[in-house]
Amino acid sequence: MSNNCNKQHSALLSTAVCYLIDESGKQIRLRCLLDAGSQMSFLKRDCVEMLGLKKEKTNILVSGLNDSSIPIKSQVTAMITNENKSYVRSLNFLVVPKITAGLTPSNKFDFSIGDFSNIKLADEKFNVPERVDLLLGVEVFYELLRRGQISIPNSNLLLQNTVFEFIISGGIPRENENVIHCGFLKHEINLDQTLKQFWEIENVDSDIPKSRESILCEEHFQNNHSRDKSGIVKMPLKENPDCLGKSRHIALKKLDSLWNRFVKDPELLTLYSNFMHEYLELGHMYEIKEIEEKSGSYYIPHLGVFRPESKTSPLRVVFNASTLTTAGNSLNSIQYNGGVIQDDLFAIMVRFRKHAFAFTADIKKMYRMILVHPSQRQLQRILWKDSYNGPIKTYELATVTYGTASAPFLATRTLKQLAIDERKRYPAAAAVLESDLYMDDLLSGSDYLETAKNLQRELIDILSSGKMSLHKWCSNTAELAVSGESYPFSNPEETKTLGVVWKSKGLFLLQSCE
């Protein structure tokens, strides 16, 4: 939006430096704009390509002032974090060619924050014209704020503390400014285009060509998987793990940093300790009597993401297998990610919308129900201690680990293998495992109640044969309620699934989470 503006002041937009992490752990430093006037978050297309993020189809109109709008055709999901990794958040972004019309700010200006020069800024180059890579909207804006606001004397500027350090905003001296950035954006779904996509999905069955990496990983899985009570897999490695440098000292440093955080947050310590003890008790990791750091081993640093809004998992422990060793490589850099083998998210949700009797559920601890071959477990070592001054113990993770590049492929490919192995016994459930799952989220149903009930029972049985279970059941009919299910929803008439709210009672409605 442009206009001739000859006033004495112009608004300085709040910018910060942040980091994006994809599913394989690859990370990139970006400049973001914090905007409480936007309903959505946005990411530039070139950043999506740089990170290799998987784009999902969408059909959204983004509207601004005067009802001007642009169509958005794709979205991505990525982890956003700050410099010290104390804040980590998974976020959906709409993909756009650019965030602002030009550089932000449009002109360089000299400014000193005087007595507050010792304060660390979220963007040290806030006064230098540079490009903006992403925009963080109101969904996350207030979550980023921290206590602490400072007015700078003899100016119209404010310093506001955030998870990225202090952002700066307010009025700055400016003349002959001819561009004004408006911070109001909302999204609308284009019904005509959505219906068109619906019919395309129903009538077109096109195979997505497989990449060379996908073919290699498929062959590797077929040659190396085995089955006991659940399943045993091997990570598909590009290089011999002997090429890895030393990593224990880095994991130790991260553990010390984590305990410094625990001292200030006893609730986080309790949750983290419970998580580690459960991991050990379930046999998902085991202690080793380490003498020295062996060649070909890798120590994975870990940190906790506290999500108080989650009723079932307020703490999520993130394993960072992209941390570099002394050789400049990491566990993630020497393995393939395997690509995506499940159906497109949009297709799954449109099919789900058709069912007269629908239900959703999650596979409980999906990754941790799949064992990693013992020969590769030294690549999944972690450090832990039970108290601040307690002895440091070394553990090896025995199961597929979130944060490793190949984990999504190994988990979803194992589910596909379970469907292949059990197809004769559970034909309907096997078909659902191959078509109605997105990672560990199940969205399925039927036009007939009895068929839906039978399908539900088959799904429980087929997953039980692989030592997996379903929980967090939700349905648009009480007759599909699972006996013994005690998961408490804040509102029994609506729940969230795959980034949208499902209003399951009365009118069958899916709408975007805001």
User: How would residue 504 be classed by pLDDT, with cut points 50, 70 and 90?
Assistant: low
Q: Which residue has the tokens 């990525």?
A: 78
pLDDT in tens, 434-486: 999 888 889 999 989 999 999 999 999 999 999 999 988 888 888 876 654 44
The DSSP code sequence of 221-240 is HHHH-B-SSS-EE---BSS-
User: How would residue 63 be classed by pLDDT, with cut points 50, 70 and 90?
Assistant: confident
The DSSP code sequence of 111-168 is ---GGGTTSPBS-TTTTS-B---EEE-HHHHHHHEEEEEEEPTTSEEEEEEEBTEEEE
User: How would residue 497 be classed by pLDDT, with cut points 50, 70 and 90?
Assistant: low
Contact criterion met (CB below 8 Å) for 385 and 393: yes
Is the pLDDT score of 217 beyond 60?
A: yes
Is the pLDDT score of 503 beyond 60?
A: no
* Mean of pLDDT values over 80-106: 82
User: How would residue 229 be classed by pLDDT, with cut points 50, 70 and 90?
Assistant: low
Give the rounded percent of residues in the chain with a pLDDT score beyond 90.
37
Sign of the Cα pseudo-torsion (52, 56, 57, 61, in order)? negative
Is the pLDDT score of 42 beyond 90?
A: yes
Which pLDDT score is estimated for 202?
A: 46
pLDDT in tens, 144-175: 988 888 887 777 788 899 999 999 888 776 54
Is the pLDDT score of 360 beyond 60?
A: yes
The DSSP code sequence of 181-210 is ----BEEEE-HHHHHHHHHHHHH--PPPPP
Q: Strands of 291-333 (E only): list them.
A: 302-306, 315-319
Average pLDDT along the chain: 81
pLDDT in tens, 26-35: 678 999 999 8
* Mean of pLDDT values over 351-355: 83
As a whole number of angstroms, the distance between CA 452 and CA 460 comes to: 12
Is the pLDDT score of 60 beyond 60?
A: yes
Which pLDDT score is estimated for 351?
A: 83
Which range has the worst mean pLDDT, 28-32, 178-182, 361-365?
178-182
User: How would residue 230 be classed by pLDDT, with cut points 50, 70 and 90?
Assistant: low
Contact criterion met (CB below 8 Å) for 341 and 221: no
**Please, which residues bridge with residue 381 across strands?**
299, 396
Which range has the worst mean pLDDT, 131-145, 207-221, 390-404, 482-496?
482-496
pLDDT in tens, 235-294: 999 999 999 999 999 999 999 999 998 999 898 899 999 999 999 999 999 999 877 788
Sign of the Cα pseudo-torsion (195, 193, 349, 418, in order)? positive
Which pLDDT score is estimated for 287?
A: 95
As a whole number of angstroms, the distance between CA 514 and CA 507 comes to: 20
Q: Which residue has the tokens 């959204």?
A: 60
Is the pLDDT score of 493 beyond 70?
A: no
User: How would residue 366 be classed by pLDDT, with cut points 50, 70 and 90?
Assistant: very high
pLDDT winner (highest mean) among 87-96, 188-197, 200-209? 87-96
Is the pLDDT score of 499 beyond 60?
A: no
Which pLDDT score is estimated for 310?
A: 63
Which pLDDT score is estimated for 507?
A: 42
Contact criterion met (CB below 8 Å) for 183 and 35: yes
Give 274 or 67, the one with higher predicted confidence. 274
pLDDT in tens, 309-333: 666 677 888 899 999 999 989 999 9
Is the pLDDT score of 334 beyond 90?
A: yes
User: How would residue 5 be classed by pLDDT, with cut points 50, 70 and 90?
Assistant: very low
Which pLDDT score is estimated for 510?
A: 46
Which pLDDT score is estimated for 495?
A: 60
pLDDT in tens, 413-435: 999 999 999 999 999 999 999 99
Domains of the chain from N-terminus onward? 9-173 (2.40.70.10), 212-501 (3.10.10.10)
Which pLDDT score is estimated for 107?
A: 64
Which pLDDT score is estimated for 512?
A: 44
